[in-house]
Homo-oligomer: A and B are copies of this chain.
Amino acid sequence: MDIATRVWNRRWKIDPIVRSLIDTDFYKLLMCQSIFRNKPDTNVTFSLINRTKSIRLAELVDEGELREQLDHIRSLSLSRGENTWLRGNTFYGKRQMFRPDFMEWFEGLRLPDYHLEKRDGQYELTFEGSWPEVMLWEIPALAVLMELRGRAVLGDMRKFELQVLYARAMTKLWGKVEKLRDIKDLQIADFGTRRRHSYLWQDWAVQAMMEGLGEKFVGTSNCLIAMRRDIEAIGTNAHELPMVYSALAETDEDLRQAPYKVLADWHDEHDGNLRMILPDTYGTKGFLDAAPDWLAGWTGIRVDSGDPAQGAETAIKWWQSRGEDPQEKRVIFSDGLDVEKIRELQAQFANRVRVSFGWGTLLTNDFRGLVPNDALAPFSLVCKAVSANGRPTVKLSDNPLKAMGPTGEIERYKRVFHLGEQKALDVVV
């Protein structure tokens, strides 16, 4: 390192974890634009939820450091180069994906304030305000918590141990890439921003995928990495849209229609590979059974909870029942993936549908077994919309362990969406 760099580095009071507003998932920006157009005046609260209670984050992570990192994120604004890239780049084959009015708003955006306190060894971290602003906190907040927890563990290690740790982690990750390389017709993307070990590690993981998989690696959900590595930004939409639309519903009938309304709005804005159904918010089977026919014309489905093979089978049967050819449809698997599961799902479905994978935590944060007490094992941290205009949100999903919301509301949603028996599956990450 040269002397000037060393002196420069000394000026930083902190080592910022998130250094750009587009160090976030591409689908957040797509959804943000959709919300900006369709529901700009909604007031929401997002809240951090650590589903792995055994990891006592408030004991591991210093509150002052956490505040410094969050404050730094609030100081960020879109840079000129980022602005140019968002406006000028082609996403999913389309120019000007982001409309001028949205971009103008985004240029002026600073993230709103946060509320932080400790309770029972955990952090209560909430964000409240205008939906299109607040929703952009999700990914950076998660990335900050994940990385501060990692830094707390790494802070006790000596320089040499760190060098060996990363050598081992690289060896492990590259071993996975080498296994994936042998899977015929694989299509896989990085979906690991939110639970990554760190930005640099995610960036290395992306390079490993580019180098090792070539055409089989189709892109990353991380906009900043997509921009810097000149690859595709990947992602469509997430549970927050049906969750908030549903919370806003006045009647049971409105509630029943809310998830379809989300996709109707999306249908107006997007076509092709962006028309991807996320059916599991209130149970995949009920959602598909009651879906309007135009939805069967969509390009594919993302399977994000429950048994993934069963989710894909349900989708295939549904397409057949609506007279669609499943071989023309895409199934994206994005929940709890690792190499063996990917290989298995590809073998099972490659000849029946178009298969692709959004690989998250075990791509960008698999440090399992590399430090004593497995202190870097990934854990299940989410940041979700918990209320909209003062009304609680609910998520059921295809795994009862992932359900969230007030008990009474959960029961109501189960009734409205005809949710039957569900099988509980361990939530690894």
Q: Which residue numbers of A lie inside 8 Å of B, CB to CB?
A: 2, 4-5, 158, 160-161, 163-164, 166-168, 170-171, 174, 207-208, 211-212
Contact = CB atoms under 8 A, between A and B. Distances in A.
A325 to B, nearest CB: 39
A164 B160 contact: no
Nearest to A1: B2
Contacts of A211: 158, 160-161
A121 B322 CA distance: 71
Contacts of A5: 2
Contacts of A160: 207-208, 211-212
Top 8 A-B residue pairs of the complex, sorted by shortest distance between their CB atoms: A167-B170, A2-B2, A160-B211, A167-B167, A164-B174, A171-B171, A168-B171, A167-B171
A163 B208 CA distance: 10
Contacts of A212: 160
A170 to B, nearest CB: 4
Nearest to A207: B160
Nearest to A167: B170
A166 B164 CA distance: 11
Contacts of A4: 2
A168 B170 CA distance: 8
A5 B5 CA distance: 14
Contacts of A164: 170-171, 174, 208
Residue from A5, A164, A208 whose CB has the most chain B CB atoms within 10 Å: A164
A249 to B, nearest CB: 50
Contacts of A207: 160
Contacts of A208: 160, 164
A4 B5 CA distance: 13
